[in-house]
Amino acid sequence: MNFGEAKKYSRDIVAAYFGDSHVFYAEQKMAKRTVPYLTVKFNGLGKVRTKITKYDRENQCFKDYWQANTKMELNLYTLGKNIAPEDTEPVYENTAVEDMDDFVKFLCSDEIIEDMDRNNIVIAINGRISDLSYLENSSEFRYRSMAEFDVNFIDSSHGMYGQNAIADLPNPSGGGTKEMIADSSVIENVEVKGETK
């Protein structure tokens, strides 16, 4: 898994609970979003210095592995729960923190923990769920909560230049060349000399 795949997996977990049409990257520019909605933001990438190199039988090459991590910030925007009797003016109760806590419980469920284990990734809340309703004054939503999550995963690469796990080179910022993907470290022919019994 690389950083891009870890971000996509994390966003997909959020969308699995809240619905795909309600989860957006914070950097996405949109005129109007359907309430309730969440924004997802990833803050940086950390990696340990020391890599572990293992032979991958499936791909028949050596691969390098690093423990990697990032922070995922989730902001939930909601109208809350209408607690007014029927046929009266709506009165909304702030459920932003409760709704985020329901997601944390989903994240800690056996089913999701097993799925994270299969994908070599761990997503866990870091700290508290904050009520940020007082920061916003918008007519499209009334309440807001925010939580930060640690995302830990195993990053890998292979090839002479460590670029073979990357689909397209040069990358969007101009880094790398197609020649860097050509892997000359794969053993194609082996000549065996000596006696056999």
pLDDT band at 111 (very low <50, low <70, confident <90, very high): very high
Q: Are 17 and 100 in contact (CB under 8 A)?
A: no
The per-residue pLDDT for range 30-69, each reduced to its tens digit, is 667 777 899 999 999 999 988 888 888 887 788 888 999 9
Full-model pTM? 0.80
- Please tell me whether residues 28 and 90 are part of one structural domain: yes
- Please tell me whether residues 27 and 120 are part of one structural domain: yes
The total number of structural domains in the chain stands at 2
Query: What is the CATH classification number for the domain harbouring 110?
Result: 3.30.2000.30
- Please tell me whether residues 154 and 182 are part of one structural domain: no
**What is the rounded distance in angstroms from the CA atom of residue 114 to the CA atom of residue 76?**
25
- Please tell me whether residues 126 and 68 are part of one structural domain: yes
Give the type of residue at 78.
Answer: T
- Please tell me whether residues 108 and 26 are part of one structural domain: yes
- Please tell me whether residues 119 and 188 are part of one structural domain: no
- Please tell me whether residues 35 and 119 are part of one structural domain: yes
- Please tell me whether residues 196 and 110 are part of one structural domain: no
**What is the rounded distance in angstroms from the CA atom of residue 69 to the CA atom of residue 21?**
27
- Please tell me whether residues 67 and 100 are part of one structural domain: yes
- Please tell me whether residues 115 and 85 are part of one structural domain: yes
What length is written for the chain? 197
- CA nearest to 143, candidates 83, 90, 89, 75: 75
Determine the average pLDDT of the residues in 16-40.
Answer: 85
The per-residue pLDDT for range 151-163, each reduced to its tens digit, is 999 988 877 776 6
- Please tell me whether residues 126 and 48 are part of one structural domain: yes
Provide the domain limits for residue 187.
162-197
Whether the predicted pLDDT of 186 surpasses 90? no
- Please tell me whether residues 113 and 21 are part of one structural domain: yes
Give the type of residue at 3.
Answer: F
